[in-house]
Every structure is written in C-alpha cells, then in structure tokens.
Amino acid sequence: MILDALWLPITAVYAIGCTVFFCIGLNLLYLTVLAATKPVKHPAAPPLSTYPRVTVQLPIFNELYVVERLLEAACDIDWPRDRLQIQLLDDSTDETQFISDRLVKKYASQGVNVVHIRRPNRVGYKAGALQEGLATAEGEFIAVFDADFVPPRNFLKETVPYFSYERVAFVQARWGHLNQSYSIFTELQAVITDAHFLVDQVARNRGGFFMNFNGTAGVWRREAIEDAGGWEHDTLAEDLDLSYRAQLKGWEAVYLPDVVAYAELPVTVTAYRRQQRRWAAGSFACALKLLPRVVRAPLAPLVKIEAALHLLGYMSHVCLLTTFLLQPFLLYYAYRAGVTSPNPTVWLVTSLPALAPVLYLIYGQWRAYGNLVRRLPYVLLASVMGAGIMLIVVGGVLKVVFARQLAFERTPKYGIARASDSLDGKKYVIPADSFIAIETLFACFSLATVTYAATLHIWGSLLYAMYFLTGLVFVVGTSIGQMAPPSLPRTLASLPGGRDL
C-alpha cells in the first residue's frame, strides 16, 4: 500500500517538525527565565546636561484618519524648539497630502521646525522615505514614529540620555495600545504584542543577544545608521535589517520597557493578515540576507544561535503547518501499530511546544498587568489564534522564496480608539480575500482529523487537532463576522467591552 511505503519519509518529516518545536519551546522558556531574572544591562542614564539636536521622522502613506493626531503629538514633544526638527515624510496619494500641508504650515507658523517632505515616487517604501529624510535631517539623533503612534511628550527626555553610552546605536521603547479594549480581537493582539516587548526584547537585550529595532517608537544615533550602511529596502523589514547590520558592526542597543508609546492595533482580520504576512516575509528575507554574516561574525556561539532563532522565528509556522497536515497519516500508522497513547518521551516532545508559548504569554501579561485572573482567558485564546494565522504566515515566507520582488502591503489605520468608534463609511477598509476560503478548507481538514482521532480513541492527537480547529474557526468566523453589513450582528471579535470577558 502507498501509505505503508511512505511510512519512513512521513514519520521522518514529522519527527523533524516535532524536534524543531521542542527547540523553539525550550528557547521560549529560556527567554522567559532570562526576562524574569537578568538584571538591566545599561544602568539608568545620567541626566542631560545639554540638549543635542534631534530629528523626529514621521513616515506616512495615505493616513487620512491619524495624521493630525500624529503630528500634533510630535510637535508637542518636550524638547527645546531650537534643537528639534520634525520631518513629515509624506508619500500619500490621496487627500492626506493636503491635510498634511495645512497642518505643517499651521505648526510652522507657531515656531515649530517642521517640514513636509514629499517624493515623486515610493521607491523603497518606508525605508526609502527614511533614507531620503536623513539627507536633510538636522539632528545627530533620529527618532521614528509610524502613523498609528502617539509620541509621548517626555519621550526624548526618557530615551536620549542613554546615548551617553558611546556605542549605543538605538534606544527602543515599548509599544502600548490605544484601542486594546475595542474588541476581543484587539485584546488578543495586545497579549501577543505584550509578550514580545516584555519577554523577547527584555531577554535579548539583557542577555547580550541581538535585538531588533521595532521600526517605530525608538531613537537612532545618526552615526550608527550611516556606519551600518543606511536604510536599505531589499527586504520588507528595514528595521530588523538595519538593527542587525548595526550590531554586526559592534554597536549596541538599549531597550526601555518602562517607556511606553501608544499605538492603534489593527481592528480587522484582513488588516492583521496583511501585517503578519509582511512581518513574516520581511523577517525571512532578513534571515536569507543576514544569517551568513552572523555565522561569519566573531560572535559567541550562543549569540549566533539566538540570532538564528530570532531571524528564523516565523519558520515555526511552517513546521506547525507541516505537522498539522501530516497528523492524519500518523494517526493511521499509530492505529496499524496498535498504539493509542504516546510514550512519555514523545508526549514531552509534543506537549512542550504547546505549553511554552502559554507560559511565555502568561509572564508577559503578568509583567504588564500584575493580575492574571482577568487576563488568563485572553492568554488561552491568543495562543490558539497562533494556529489560526499559520497559513498567512507561511504564505509570507513562501512569498520570499518564490517572488522576485516583494511589494509593501500597508496596514491601514482608522483612528479607532474607543469601543464606540466604527469603520462604517471609512476609506482604506480592505475587502475580504481568498484566504478565508483556504482557511475554511483547512478547518474542514482539521475537523476530519478530530473525527478520525476520536474514532480511533487516540485522545492526545484529538486535543492537538482541536487546537488547530479552534484557531482556524476563530479566524474564519471573525473574518466572516466582520464582513456583515452594519445592521447585522458581528462576531465576538468585533464586540466592544473586551475587558469584561
């Protein structure tokens, strides 16, 4: 029989996938322990004796609903006006450009050193805009804020003092959430984002590993940007790319988890899909570009290993999808062999990757809120949602492998900050894409696997398949619910009052 002939390659691939997950799970636990126990690498910086020149760059593209909020906050930053320059790097093609022009003239008339920079084309997308702005930037330090952020008034006074350490290339702040309680869907995104900023970034920075600039809510030393080769646009992750190139040159990073810049989370699944696909594609493109340099660099072996795990982080979804597709075949082989429960070693290997992310998310929420009782349901749902987005992430990785040129997919912002805010009638709303149909097919496949496992009484595999099924049903159901006309009820992920779950 064909399946019997394929037993060895199928089990070998599945074993490789489980091994990769085991390693990823161990690393998540390791990073969580580091974040909890490792002391701060850079002590508190001395107070400023002088104020250096700082340029704040605001790259935007068609940001009708948030540009005023962004520019107002940037112009209100507490820094001597004669030492501060604001660059609105505006690649807009709609009425945003006219609103921006009016706002820039308004603040310039009030004595703010603010300039409106427009390019004839979008070559290089955000990286191209940042690089062009750098040519006329007056500051020796460059702060960057994306359109969905609200720069805190004291941001520069909290971050710039750390550049007293001469080899610091950039200082990164933590992301907060303007619209976290808008819906259950935004609450789940906040859980995942909090874990990155309160576990990953803390552990990597304090552990002496490479960490990434997050593209916004941070400040760069101009000298470090230029020494590393400037902003390059051959990947979709110019932030990750530049931060690694700078650290390979011997520059250091500082991460400040207690300095928070608030931003707007995507409120629709289609927008979130775009964001995750772009991040996955950009991260994998950076891995292809930078890993050979990391391997050749005179770095400690553990630093190289952590850099590889970091750059290849989204490959975990490729392995997740592989084991998901192979699970029915493993059920068949287990049934033929009369095995209905795995031995303890197999159970450990398969359960650790599932438990480690939950512990990782739990610690992130504990650091963010202290009280876990109300946050635990969101943690469990967020861990399940990871299975629901695996297809879009794998699509982003495959895009890098097969596409000759990567196109930037922007994540639209709508100025939504309260549960009462609505998308109805707003521009930039992304229509549902074909991925809903693909995810629905995979949900049906997962349901068949659950049924098959139940028929064979292999309960461990049933729970594993339920994990995928729940995640896919959540994402598909949310997508369909957000497609409903305004007069019809929406899904849970569109309902306000998420904090009362």
Q: Per the residue annotation, which of 146, 148, 194, 239 is the catalytic one?
A: 239
Strand order in the sheet with 54-60: 114-118, 84-90, 54-60, 141-144, 218-221, 168-177, 252-263, 149-150
Q: Is 292 exposed, middle or buried (0-12, 13-18, 19+ CB in 10 A)?
A: exposed
Handedness of CA 178, 179, 184, 185 (dihedral sign): negative
Q: Are the C-beta atoms of residues 287 and 212 closer than 8 Å to each other?
A: no
Please give the backbone phi and psi of residue 182, each rounded to the nearest 5 degrees, phi first: -60, -40
* DSSP-derived pairing of the beta strands 252-263 and 149-150: antiparallel
Active site residue 239: yes
The SS3 assignment for 34 reads: helix
Which value, to the nearest 10 degrees, does the dihedral of the CA atoms of residues 372, 375, 377, 383 take?
-100
Total residue count of the chain as it appears in this document: 501
Q: Per the residue annotation, which of 91, 146, 200, 241 is the catalytic one?
A: 91
Distance from C-alpha of 431 to C-alpha of 413, rounded to nearest angstrom: 15
Active site residue 421: no
Return the ∠ at Cα 328 (arms to 322 and 333), rounded to 5°: 110
Annotated catalytic residues are 91, 239
